[in-house]
Amino acid sequence: MSANAPRAVPGIHHVAYATRDTAATVRFYEELLGFPLVNTEIDGGPDGFMRHLFFDTGDGVCIAFFELHNMGERADFDTAVSTAAGLPVWVNHIAFGATEERQRAVRERLDAAGIEPLMDIDHGWCHSLYYLDPNNIMIEFCRDTPGIEADPATAHELLTATSRPRPAAKVTLHEGASHAPTP
């Protein structure tokens, strides 16, 4: 698809995950991150029910969570999307757009709550701040680096590359981070 082709959809409405701890999820997303809880749906069948929570992350885009009670889920289901699939925690994650001020405010609020970032990464073209939520889902607050333009031609060339054509990202790991994944 070319950069000038019409988009099939105007954007993402919501991304949904599972939670085992609704209270901790509400506290994290609404109280600490400032994403208001804007809708809760409850539905069920003859033997169970589910609660579907929606937090507005800005501009009407939501992150949502299912709290399941006997709706076909395994009793031992794991909410940590990446590690449950046998992948590193950073593979499946959601990145929220941010400004430098927003990153600083998030860090201050989460630091005050005793939640440390997992890592900071200066990718060159953007700067990212990563945390694990109470469900061990990685979230990222990402701000673009001013003056860096999109380069679709190079992006397509790198689809077949096997080595890094530019310097590695500058990664700062935070070893004592809260909600750290378990091996």
15 DSSP β-pair partners: 63
For the chain, what is the domain count?
A: 2
What tens digit of pLDDT does each residue of 28-44 get?
Answer: 999 999 999 999 999 99
Residue 23 has pLDDT above 90, yes or no: yes
What tens digit of pLDDT does each residue of 83-96 get?
Answer: 999 999 999 999 99
Based on the fold, state whether residues 54 and 129 are members of the same structural domain.
no
pLDDT at res. 177: 56
- Please check whether residue 19 is in contact with residue 29, taking contact to mean a CB–CB distance below 8 angstroms: no
Residue 179 has pLDDT above 70, yes or no: no
Based on the fold, state whether residues 171 and 114 are members of the same structural domain.
yes
pLDDT at res. 162: 83
Based on the fold, state whether residues 38 and 115 are members of the same structural domain.
no
**How far is 26 from 69, CA to CA, in rounded Å?**
18
Token pair for residue 26? 């509400």
Residue 1 has pLDDT above 70, yes or no: no
Based on the fold, state whether residues 62 and 22 are members of the same structural domain.
yes
pLDDT at res. 174: 79
pTM for this prediction: 0.85
Q: Quick one: what percent of the chain has pLDDT higher than 70? A: 92
Residue 12 has pLDDT above 80, yes or no: yes
Based on the fold, state whether residues 109 and 180 are members of the same structural domain.
yes
pLDDT at res. 26: 98
- In degrees and rounded to multiples of 5, residue 8 shows phi and psi of -70, -30
Based on the fold, state whether residues 121 and 179 are members of the same structural domain.
yes
Based on the fold, state whether residues 111 and 24 are members of the same structural domain.
no
Residue 134 has pLDDT above 60, yes or no: yes
Which residue, of 48, 77, 106, is where some domain finishes? 77
- Please check whether residue 136 is in contact with residue 83, taking contact to mean a CB–CB distance below 8 angstroms: yes
Domain span at residue 146 reads 87-183
